[in-house]
Structure 1
């Protein structure tokens, strides 16, 4: 018990992405810009959906939750990474590390389920348009979004509690840019085989099954698109589906490869490179691919800009 308490009160060290070299300064600036862009565009997406009645549909309701998850997720990881680089300190407290694990698992798991829900929404909209209003009413979209948050949170509670229960002996240096399960398992001095089995089960539930559902949905969508008479409509639908699938593969591919491999097959450099895709890059790409290429969203942006300009002109006239 004394050993466990002593371990629990100790800080971890995040080795991170950056060293003190000039290359790291470029990487730091690049990550900083991506962070600002990702947060700004996701906040803009949420504001557009809330303010414009044209976007009060199940699809955009789910997209607003995706943007919320993306903001929380990148904010959970990047600010600490940047702060450590600026301060020269790479430490993170036991509680801080536990919070990172909990939030990352909640948001990653919830986003996996939410992306599957969004693909189902698109499948119904394109393949069964006449039944869309019945099959995808407001209550269904609320259940989808709420279920993603709830199931992701419950899964995270179990995994976080189990992971932090392990004693961490010897080096407490996590060779990663945030506290992630595979990297932390390497520091444990006890057998984690049973827990790894639980990770595989969660991987099947949160990764393989949703990815299979998304793939099946887009196959059906493409088959429906092939029967469209308009060549322009076919071209537009193919373009949309291909971009969606690229982002899905960028998210699920590295995620599956990281969490569905045995601990002995992990290498720090590879894990950090793969994690960049599902923690930083897709967070930035999601609003662009799912929203900003859409004419309804572009219309809502134009309306918001016009309203802002009118508001400024009225204020000038008053003054």
Structure 2
């Protein structure tokens, strides 16, 4: 069971974080929230997003910041259509908050440990910002420094970026936000079948699987096993740390391969390949991972070059 509103507020008090509370009716949008706290400035919008590899993100921005999903996808190295809104069922499963209550505070829940977070650099210019404390019948205001204090208390290093920037991404200009892509994938349980049969487009009855619950449970168990392997080999909180250490860099690649193998073998359409299963999986991995690994390698190369430059400069100064 996730944190409650009361538990979160108590935690903020324990951290000696100053905040103000504003109770109001349940609101589902930024516009509705502004009716009660909009005149104070610092209103925020929070997007819960998902990519094609089942990685989740919270993008938290000022209400007036324009977030272009296609541009953000490219900056993360996911391609133009790499990001989409997360499904509604992911809210209780991953963030453990009701609809309309997404904020960075949801990362306090263990189930959200693999969710990436991008914060609007505009927060730093505000005297205070407004967020729902895991429940959308209240808003609390606090400044960016106190938000940082909370995030660090749960092992998260705050990452502030210019969400309205549109840098060129190409061969010699790698995605500037690629280091913020989560390393873990999350597979949600498949919903149970409503009936033993359904109709296809022609109106004919089609027999459906009766053990969908067992299949879903097995998928979740396998996903947890993959995550456990990754947790043991990559415990760093800051994703950019993988690009400063060769061993961690290799572990990052192996983790991504492991997660992708699980996703591909879970795909029912791959079973028809029989003896060619290994070749088919290898081809799919090459197609899915080639661009991403090139981006990782470029970031690692650039990081190593930068560190070498600074080390050489420090040596000359001495």
Same fold (TM over 0.5): no
Taking structure 1 as the reference length, the TM-score comes to 0.29
Which structure carries more strand by proportion? 2
Query: 1 or 2, which has the higher helix percentage?
Result: 1
| Greater relative CO (CA pairs within 8 A, separation 6+) | 1
Q: Normalization by structure 2: what TM-score?
A: 0.29
